[in-house]
Amino acid sequence: MKRKPREWSSWPEKVALQLNDTHPALAIIEFLRILVDIENFPFDFAWELVYKSFGYTNHTVLPEALETWGVDLVGNLLPRHLELIYFINHIFLEKVSLKYPGDIGKLERMSLI
């Protein structure tokens, strides 16, 4: 039981989470899962909190330093996380599509999955 209720809408003004490199990237999805599945927030509200709370820095663009995880691996180990990653990818690709209408190649290159 929580001691006192949180005013979640002000969360991003009070908390900033900075990630370095790809290792901790699943923290973003885990926080989203907690907000949606445990706190029962609507996806759009939860995603706004997550989006405004996390920052990401990568100090190299060398391919060997950019960690990737296969869909099968994530799907087998963390199926709910993969489902949320698909939602995020959909939102992202909608924005790309609005910015570059009709550029299917750009959508394919920029997809997270």
13-66 pLDDT tens trace = 999 999 987 778 899 999 999 999 999 999 999 999 999 999 988 877 787 777
Q: Does residue 51 share a domain with residue 13? A: yes
- Within 10 A of 43 (CB to CB), how many other CB atoms are there? 14
What's the whole-model pTM score? 0.85
Distances (CA, A) of 58 to 16, 64, 65, 85: 17, 13, 9, 20
Q: Residues 77, 62: one domain?
A: no
Residues 4 and 50 in one domain: yes
* Residues 47 and 58: beta-carbon distance below 8 Å: no
The number of folded domains in the chain is 2
User: Looking at the structure, do residues 76 and 49 belong to the same domain, yes or no?
Assistant: no
Residues 88 and 63 in one domain: no
Residue 10: what are its φ and ψ, rounded to 5°?
-95, 0
Q: Which domain holds residue 96?
A: 69-113
Enter the tokens of residue 51: 């989006």
Q: Is the domain of 27 the same as that of 78? A: no
